[in-house]
Amino acid sequence: MNDSELRSLLSDLSLEEKIGQLTQLPGYFQDAGTITGPAGDMGLTQDDLRLAGSYLSIIGAEKLKKMQTEFMAQHPHHIPLLFMADIINGYRTVFPIPLAQACTFNPELIEESAATAAREAAASGIHVTFSPMADLVRDARWGRVMESAGEDPFLSGQVAAAMVRGYQGSDLNEHGRIASCLKHFAGYGAPEGGRDYNTVELSERTLREDYLPAYQAAVDAGCALVMTSFNTLNRIPSAANEWLLREVLRREMGFDGMIISDWNALQELLAHGIAQDQPEAAFLALRAGVDMDMVSPVYARNLRELVEQGKVPMQWIDESVWRVLTLKNRLGLFEHPFRDADEAAEKTLLLAEENRRMARRCAEQSFVLLRNEENLLPLSGGEAVFIGPYADNALLNGAWSIFADDLDTVSLKAALQRRPQTRNVSVIRGCTLSDPEHPVIGFQHPLPPEDLDAEAALAEAVQAAKAAEKVVLCLGEHRECSGEAASRGDLSLPRCQLRLLDAVAAVNPRIIVVLFTGRPLDIRPLSEKAGSILLCWLPGTEGGEAVLNTLLGENNPGGKLSMSFPYCTGQAPVHYNHLNTGRPWKLGILDGRFGSKYQDIPNDPLYPFGYGLSYTTFACSPVTLSSSCMTRSSSIHASVSVTNTGRRAGTETLQLYIRDLSGSVARPVRELKGFRRIFLAPGESRTVTFTITEEMLRFYTLSMDYASECGDFDVFIGSDSRTDNGARFTLTE
Ligand code: BGC
């Protein structure tokens, strides 16, 4: 449709039809067919269901085509529905969780995996995905850390933008693309105490400096929608925050797409205590600029009366309906209401071998080798026994993989059995995944208790460990321990797993831990007892294959941490790009009591942001600068030469950090400004050059201008955020 046709459609719609366009309902309301259960409880009528603009979380080409056909036939203006769903890290082929994908430091690969997910989801009839989540996170207690790209604004922005490009391509109307909904705007990743849905306290400076850049990167990449967050900012819930949505998001950040609230968030304005009833909630949200109400009755039940009473101007309604219709039009739904929904394509495309290959590649690149004493890894073949609750476990998809089937996932045991050299290795459970006293509450349904004779299982594991040359211990958190509403107050591994570790370590010190988790954990016991630790996160459909390829050295791990692993829970939140304080504490420099430190634990995380080893070793030369001085219109080239000093080919990710030594406001001790993945054969060297521009030196100054200030800067280039391989330069007018 052209714009004037769309305008005339808008002007033809009745008020009820317009309000319908602003309402999104869950798919199961349609399945139910009649107004009973939750839809009835919400006070919705058959008309609300009949006129809705969108349904979420229903999938399947056949089903959605039928639903679209029936819906359009009965709609007074035959307006097609938008089908939205959470395609977070894959649809049927599941990729590693986003936190793991970020460890690849490979935006091109992330873009390709998002494109693969889009193709699969589009074939099943989906039009919009609620991804990427660009919420910066510094606190591993927050369960949704798995959906983020970690603690760095720059890396988070690169990941979010790559995902948007992957989903949407260059034109939303392209075959196999879906629209991307950036979320959760804004600051959702900073709840107090790491508890999901909790209050967020961010200064405007910190919000702008650290939290907004990743969202901005996704907006710049062209995301078609933005979802508001559940939290308050400055005590105003995002869904009612006019300043945040109209001033910051639309005017400053330049977003002109559609804004949708998060699940039931408009109704929750009452619980937040800023709306005394539903009509007030509807008024506040529409005034703030929320176009579509996700799964709450607030718009559907109240906007009509508000308009009739003259409290809500028709223009607000029309603006929002216009955005919804525009998105439908950009997606080509008026001409092709089924879009790519295709039962035949579903059969060939979902879980296609090339998609699995992509998932494997992505998983392999996301693994982070945290320790490798005495080169315990790689294995040479079948010399190890595999013990632990993840050794034979297909629960390798992240919590949001709601459309995937675990039966499609390759467990480690299945992968072992596929190869002649590992076919006969012993695989022993050793203990349950979770402690019986902390049963895991599932996202979609309660989980049955794990059935195991704990003492017999432990004894069997000890006996096998005693006899083996090496032990591969497959440990970690249950996937339902991370994700939405899965915050934790203790980041330790389950007690039963620590007991297994102790018992095995007592009889065989040659332990390799393969760690599966959706978040950084307190892994001190692993660092003490295991010679090697391979962090595999929740690696997805091809997890078992990817892990085995890596254990056997067919893949040389090169992932780098997208988030620090805290020393212990009490250290959270911890992030490398902190401020210096007036009393920075370094052993031996400001010794004694009055430094900024803990009495009982170190300040540094156990493993810092950017960290990750390889089966080979790399050496990096000192940083050389093309000049020690730059002006606002010039730039400096900072170079190092990196050499593979080991015996295997491998990838090193060089990271560029900059520190502004003095500014009108306190500046972080360092900030990531660039990175480069370099693949090197044994003995090979490469010179790597980063260009430092004035733009990289900008920040929110005392007067809140986004600008650079003259003075001295340290630049560091190295293999993680702790590198002290640096040089100094000066910015002059
Ligand atoms: C989550 C969103 C998600 C939405 C729809 C909410 O509970 O916070 O991230 O996209 O549900 O499923």
| The three-state (H, E, C) secondary structure of 89-121, written as one string | CECCCECCCHHHHHCCCCHHHHHHHHHHHHHHH
The DSSP element (H or E) to which 688 belongs, if any, is strand 685-692
At residue 480, does pLDDT exceed 60?
Answer: yes
**Would you place residue 34 in the very low, low, confident or very high pLDDT band (cuts 50, 70, 90)?**
low
Residues 263 and 218 reside in one and the same domain: yes
Q: Exposure string (b/e) for 154-185, b if CB count within 10 Å is 16 or more?
A: bbbbbbbbbbbbbbbbeebeeebbbbbbbbbb
At 691-708, the pLDDT tens digits run 999 999 999 999 999 999
Domain count, the chain: 3
Residues 502 and 646 reside in one and the same domain: no
Residues 299 and 381 reside in one and the same domain: no
At 534-590, the pLDDT tens digits run 999 999 999 999 999 999 999 999 999 999 999 999 999 999 999 999 999 876 555
484 CB near ligand 1 (under 6 Å)? yes
At 658-670, the pLDDT tens digits run 999 999 999 999 9
At 153-194, the pLDDT tens digits run 999 999 999 999 999 999 999 999 999 999 999 999 999 999
263 CB near ligand 1 (under 6 Å)? yes
- Residue pair 543/554 in contact (Cβ under 8 Å)? The answer is no
The total of other beta-carbon atoms located within 10 Å of residue 449's CB is 11
The domain that holds 655 is classified in CATH as 2.60.40.10
86 CB near ligand 1 (under 6 Å)? yes
The percent of residues in the chain predicted with pLDDT above 90, rounded, is: 93
Query: Residue 131 CA: which ligand 1 atom is closest?
Result: 10
Answer yes or no: is 117 within a domain: no
Query: What pLDDT shows up at residue 589?
Result: 57
Query: What pLDDT shows up at residue 30?
Result: 74
Domain boundary among 292, 317, 339: 339
Q: Which structural domain, as residue segments, surrounds residue 185?
A: 3-85+177-339
What is the distance between the alpha carbons of residues 472 and 270, in angstroms, rounded to a whole number? 52
Domain boundary among 318, 339, 360: 339
Query: What pLDDT shows up at residue 590?
Result: 54
Which residue, chain included where needed, has tokens 């999938």? 59
Measured in angstroms, how far is the CA atom of residue 520 from the centroid of ligand 1?
Answer: 22
Residues 381 and 327 reside in one and the same domain: no
Residues 313 and 387 reside in one and the same domain: no
Cα–Cα distances (Å) from 77 to 4, 22, 55, 71, 167, in that order, read 16, 15, 18, 11, 29
Answer yes or no: is 94 within a domain: no
Q: What's the whole-number average pLDDT of the chain?
A: 96
268 CB near ligand 1 (under 6 Å)? no
At residue 731, does pLDDT exceed 70?
Answer: yes
Measured in angstroms, how far is the CA atom of residue 262 from the centroid of ligand 1?
Answer: 6
Residue with CA at minimum distance from ligand 1 atom 10: 130
Query: Residue 230 CA: which ligand 1 atom is closest?
Result: 8
Measured in angstroms, how far is the CA atom of residue 294 from the centroid of ligand 1?
Answer: 9
At 222-247, the pLDDT tens digits run 999 999 999 999 999 999 999 999 99
Residues 445 and 527 reside in one and the same domain: yes
The pair of structure tokens assigned to 507 is 């009889």
Answer yes or no: is 402 within a domain: yes
Which residue from 25, 54, 55, 130 has its CB within 8 A of the most atoms of ligand 1, so it is best to mutate? 130
135 CB near ligand 1 (under 6 Å)? no
Query: What pLDDT shows up at residue 437?
Result: 84
- Residue pair 680/640 in contact (Cβ under 8 Å)? The answer is no
Cis peptide leading into residue 575 (ω within 30°): no
Which residue from 262, 266, 402, 403 has its CB within 8 A of the most atoms of ligand 1, so it is best to mutate? 262
The percent of residues in the chain predicted with pLDDT above 70, rounded, is: 98
Residues 279 and 388 reside in one and the same domain: no
55 CB near ligand 1 (under 6 Å)? no
Answer yes or no: is 80 within a domain: yes
Summarize the confidence of residues 408-429 as an average pLDDT: 97
Residues 402 and 493 reside in one and the same domain: yes
Which residue from 196, 263, 296 has its CB within 8 A of the most atoms of ligand 1, so it is best to mutate? 263
At residue 143, does pLDDT exceed 80?
Answer: yes
Of the candidates 569, 564, 479, the one whose C-alpha atom is nearest the C-alpha of residue 518 is 479
Phi–psi pair at 231, nearest 5 degrees: -80, 165
144 CB near ligand 1 (under 6 Å)? no
At residue 434, does pLDDT exceed 90?
Answer: yes
Measured in angstroms, how far is the CA atom of residue 296 from the centroid of ligand 1?
Answer: 13
Dihedral over alpha carbons 339, 340, 343, 348 (to 10 degrees): 180
Measured in angstroms, how far is the CA atom of residue 86 from the centroid of ligand 1?
Answer: 7
Residue with CA at minimum distance from ligand 1 atom 2: 262
Answer yes or no: is 580 within a domain: no
Measured in angstroms, how far is the CA atom of residue 280 from the centroid of ligand 1?
Answer: 23
Measured in angstroms, how far is the CA atom of residue 264 from the centroid of ligand 1?
Answer: 9
Cα–Cα distances (Å) from 94 to 69, 135, 359, 516, in that order, read 30, 21, 7, 15
Cα–Cα distances (Å) from 122 to 60, 81, 109, 223, 343, in that order, read 10, 14, 20, 17, 11
What is the distance between the alpha carbons of residues 147 and 484, in angstroms, rounded to a whole number? 9
Lowest mean pLDDT among 42-51, 398-407, 586-595, 713-722: 586-595
Answer yes or no: is 259 within a domain: yes
The domain that holds 473 is classified in CATH as 3.40.50.1700
Query: What pLDDT shows up at residue 588?
Result: 58
Which residue from 89, 443, 484 has its CB within 8 A of the most atoms of ligand 1, so it is best to mutate? 484
Q: Say if strands 532-535 and 511-516 run parallel, antiparallel, or are unpaired.
A: parallel
What is the distance between the alpha carbons of residues 225 and 6, in angstroms, rounded to a whole number? 19
The domain that holds 267 is classified in CATH as 3.20.20.300
183 CB near ligand 1 (under 6 Å)? yes
Measured in angstroms, how far is the CA atom of residue 263 from the centroid of ligand 1?
Answer: 6
DSSP string, 417-460: HHSTTTTT--EE--S-SS-TTSPPPPSSSPPPPP---HHHHHHH
At 487-507, the pLDDT tens digits run 999 999 999 999 999 999 999
Answer yes or no: is 155 within a domain: no
Answer yes or no: is 166 within a domain: no
Measured in angstroms, how far is the CA atom of residue 400 from the centroid of ligand 1?
Answer: 10
262 CB near ligand 1 (under 6 Å)? yes
Query: Residue 184 CA: which ligand 1 atom is closest?
Result: 9
Summarize the confidence of residues 263-291 as an average pLDDT: 98
Query: What pLDDT shows up at residue 68?
Result: 97
At residue 644, does pLDDT exceed 90?
Answer: yes
Query: What pLDDT shows up at residue 27?
Result: 87
Residues 396 and 462 reside in one and the same domain: yes
Would residue 342 show up in a list of annotated catalytic residues for this protein?
no
Residues 512 and 563 reside in one and the same domain: yes
Residue with CA at minimum distance from ligand 1 atom 4: 263
Catalytic site residue from 86, 135, 152, 262: 262
Residues 523 and 386 reside in one and the same domain: yes
The pair of structure tokens assigned to 26 is 């869950």
Domain boundary among 534, 556, 571: 571
675 CB near ligand 1 (under 6 Å)? no
Summarize the confidence of residues 195-209 as an average pLDDT: 98
Residues 332 and 382 reside in one and the same domain: no
